[in-house]
């Protein structure tokens, strides 16, 4: 069962690599894989049960996937130490912008949902 689920996810990942290579512009294959997986799940061409166990496992152990990039950063620290302050400033600003845009998007969606519920009650 796990092998089948991994095969499905790896096949989607492989397909996204192929699609990304043929696009006339640069597009990350990992993002392409997420889009493909979303489309397959949203259209119900792929049942969630076919990938849920592996997805849950990967979600539970996602921190392990950050270890290699962290080690690479430590190895290359001598190259980035001169630019550490600009990197931290850019990281903070991008975090702040992402946080605020997410917060206001949630606020907007909540208001829209409340308006739909209110209109639904008025119609009944």
Q: Which mean pLDDT values do the consecutive 10-residue runs of the chain (124 residues) have?
A: 92 95 92 94 94 92 89 88 92 97 96 87 70
Domain residues for 44?
1-60
pLDDT of residue 103: 96
Identify the residue whose tokens are 């119900």. Answer: 44
Residue after which a domain boundary falls, among 15, 30, 60: 60
Residues 70 and 55 in one domain: no
Residues 41 and 92 in one domain: no
Residues 53 and 74 in one domain: no
pLDDT of residue 121: 75
Residue after which a domain boundary falls, among 60, 86, 110: 60
pLDDT of residue 124: 63
What's the rounded Cα separation, in Å, for the pair 57 and 5?
11
């Amino acid at each position: 069962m796990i092998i089948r689920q991994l095969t499905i996810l790896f096949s989607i990942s492989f397909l996204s690599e192929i699609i990304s290579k043929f696009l006339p512009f640069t597009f990350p294959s990992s993002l392409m894989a997420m889009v493909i997986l979303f489309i397959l799940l949203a259209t119900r061409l792929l049942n969630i049960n076919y990938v849920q166990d592996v997805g849950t496992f990967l979600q539970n152990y996602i921190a392990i996937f950050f270890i290699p990039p962290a080690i690479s950063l430590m190895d290359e620290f001598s190259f980035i130490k001169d630019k550490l302050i600009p990197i931290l400033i850019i990281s903070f600003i991008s975090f702040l912008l992402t946080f605020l845009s997410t917060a206001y998007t949630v606020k907007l969606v909540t208001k829209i949902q409340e308006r739909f519920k209110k209109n639904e009650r008025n119609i009944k």
